[in-house]
Amino acid sequence: MPDYFNLDALLTDEERLVQQTVKEFVDREVIPIIEHHARDGTFPLHLVKPMADLGLFGITLPQEYGCAGLNNVCYGLAMQELERGDSGIRSFASVQSSLVMYPIYTYGSEDHRRKWLPRLASGDAIGCFGLTEPDYGSNPGGMVTNAKKTDGGFLLNGAKMWITNGTLADIAVVWAKLDGVVRGFLVEKGMKGFSAPEMKGKHSLRASVTSELVFQDVELPEENVLPGIEGLKGPLSCLTQARYGISWGVIGSAMACYDSSLNYAQSRIQFDRPIAGFQLTQEKLVYMLTEITKAQFLCWRLAHLKDEGTMLPQQVSLAKRNNCEIALNIARMSREIHGANGILDEYPIMRHSANLESVKTYEGTHEMHTLILGQDITGIQAFT
């Protein structure tokens, strides 16, 4: 894997150990089987417990809840290595950690934490995050899913869409309006009126479960509301956590494409020499290496800001926007280097490329992150 500026020298022993451990797991358990699952449109559910055993769920949360209690460099490196295998594998871990365990830890009651975090950390429970709706993606404040107060609880109605892990989930963190104010609710599998049909027909993230969530007069007890937050700040803070993981993750996809391209270019003979000896091929490889290197240091610095508690959401937007863009560019260049062979699943190129089309869009589109940054640097809001 490329490390052209020796970022490894800036890592602690613990951070190196996390990266190497997850790298070996991906090489051994993910890469040999992922093309089969992508082809069949199935998620390798058997990997959940081994991932949990490595401490990959809620990796930065306290050990008292069964989590690893590691820093954000460790979290980022783990996401990078998982996505080097496949975006769907990293998405599973990101959702479990950033979009389910994080809000339960940050905004839930102590009873919520004790009940759910150890189960989610161990892989005994799977979670999902319900924010996006069929008609409201980039504008989550327009959501129509709503909760009404009843004697002893709430009545939940509405629908969510594009929900990773939804069909598999034992617990859903669902955002809905209560008296016009966005609140977080915990909806448990098996509750009457709650269903989570899987969405089919995807050409991207095929080794990941994507679902709808449907709520038809779902009765929630009083204790299933997250007490620690009101308004959009709650779900948006969760998205910041997820975007952070994505910023690291897509570097892994780019690395996989670069490594495959370099190996292919050095072994593919045309006009009596390897195509790595041609100027246009070298230009592509140099672009890949340069952008991967820049992305690595961008994320490394972002991780330290996050650990210091000074990271800004706009900085995460910059990293997510940049790294998704360059990873997708690298995947496309990689397909060009592989020529016709690049469309075969003997190589990971088309799978990563198709996945990255989704990753560039979810957790905030490229355009929305552009406007978030534009507002921050000009002081003028342009997206309403």
Pairing of strands 153-164, 210-221: antiparallel
HSE-CB for 314 with a 13 A CA cutoff: 10
Distance, in Å, from the CA atom of 86 to the CA atom of 249, rounded to the nearest integer, reads 9
Element (H, E) at 153: strand 153-164
CA–CA separation, 376 vs 86, rounded Å?
33
* C-alpha span between 142 and 175 (Å, rounded): 12
Nearest to 175 by CA among 139, 140, 149: 140
From residue 196, alpha-carbon distances to 40, 152, 209, 257, 361 in Å are 20, 25, 11, 34, 22
Cβ atoms 181, 231 nearer than 8 A: yes
Catalytic-labelled residue, pool 64, 308, 363, 367? 363
Concerning whether 363 is annotated as a catalytic residue, the answer is yes
**66 within 8 A of 218, measured Cβ to Cβ:** no
**171-178 and 127-130 as β-strands: parallel, antiparallel, unpaired?**
parallel
CA-to-CA dists, residue 114 to 88, 147, 193, 267, angstroms: 28, 25, 26, 54
| Whole-number Å distance between alpha carbons of 147 and 109 | 19
Active site residues: 363
